[in-house]
């Protein structure tokens, strides 16, 4: 089994493997080119992202800067919006559904290191996948840890550290992130209420 196969299957692997090092170098070059483009060079931005990522829908916007380890392990659905300064460590598969919004400074970390120092010092690493469902909104400065699934329609509050699965159609926040309440009818009507304008 190659180090890449170990990496993608959740086994301990060596990131120093030449095949993996070359793949990271490719991603580093593509993200560098993407991040150096002028903001209105959207056609070239999208071309680079299509070359970098494993899959992405037809309608998307990823604001600069954007960083990832490999790119090819990221699968993104339709109508994706990603605000500034997103980092995705995709040593394991990252799957993002349709109609997903990322606020600034969202970080998805599939990568991890052994807790035992002696084992960690050998250079062995691991990666577990992250899955984000459809219609999810991830707030600013959110960190999603390895082996987490966020269900369809969930909203993750700003500053959260998501260490375990979040069910569908809930508002969740905190460190560690926990469910606060379901997304409800009041969340649909709230924005249509008349309110006095503060002076």
State the pLDDT at residue 189. 80
pLDDT band at 196 (very low <50, low <70, confident <90, very high): low
- Residue-wise pLDDT for 36-65, tens only, equals 999 999 999 999 999 999 999 999 999 999
Please state, in angstroms and rounded to a whole number, the distance separating the CA atoms of residues 41 and 66: 15
Q: Where are the domains of the chain?
A: 3-180
Residue 74 pLDDT > 70, yes or no? yes
State the pLDDT at residue 193. 72
pTM for this model (two decimals): 0.92
Question: Among 175, 31, 158, 174, which Cα is nearest to 104's?
Answer: 158
- Residue-wise pLDDT for 7-22, tens only, equals 999 999 999 999 999 9
Mean pLDDT of the chain: 95
pLDDT band at 185 (very low <50, low <70, confident <90, very high): confident
H/E element, 7: helix 3-8
- Residue-wise pLDDT for 89-111, tens only, equals 999 999 999 999 999 999 999 99
Q: Which segments of 9-159 does DSSP mark as H helices, in order? A: 18-36, 42-52, 117-120
Quick check: is 113 catalytic? yes
pLDDT band at 198 (very low <50, low <70, confident <90, very high): low
pLDDT band at 199 (very low <50, low <70, confident <90, very high): low
Structural contact between residues 174 and 139, judged by C-beta atoms closer than 8 angstroms: no
Which one of 3.40.1640.10, 3.30.300.30, 2.40.50.140, 2.160.10.10 gives the CATH number of domain 3-180? 2.160.10.10
Catalytic residue among 78, 113, 141, 183: 113
Question: Among 92, 78, 102, 60, which Cα is nearest to 48's?
Answer: 60
State the pLDDT at residue 190. 78
User: Could you tell me the strand order of the sheet in which 66-68 lies?
Assistant: 66-68, 86-89, 107-109, 143-144, 161-162
């Amino acid at each position: 089994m190659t180090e890449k196969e170990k990496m993608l299957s959740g086994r301990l692997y060596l990131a120093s493997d030449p095949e993996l090092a070359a793949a990271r170098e490719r991603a580093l070059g593509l993200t560098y080119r993407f991040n150096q483009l002028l903001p209105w060079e959207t056609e070239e931005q999208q071309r680079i992202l299509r070359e970098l990522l494993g899959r992405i829908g037809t309608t998307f916007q990823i604001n600069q800067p954007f960083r990832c380890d490999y790119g090819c392990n990221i699968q993104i659905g339709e109508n994706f919006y990603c605000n500034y300064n997103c980092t995705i460590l995709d040593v394991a598969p990252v799957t993002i559904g349709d109609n997903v919004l990322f606020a600034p400074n969202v970080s998805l970390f599939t990568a991890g290191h052994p807790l035992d120092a002696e084992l960690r010092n050998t250079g062995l690493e691991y990666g577990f996948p992250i899955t984000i469902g459809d219609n999810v909104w991830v707030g600013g400065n959110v960190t999603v840890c390895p082996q987490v699934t966020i269900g369809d329609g969930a909203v993750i509050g700003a500053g959260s550290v998501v260490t375990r699965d979040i069910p569908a159609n809930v508002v969740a926040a905190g460190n560690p992130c926990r469910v606060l309440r379901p997304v409800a009818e009041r969340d649909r009507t709230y924005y249509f209420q008349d309110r006095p304008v503060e002076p």
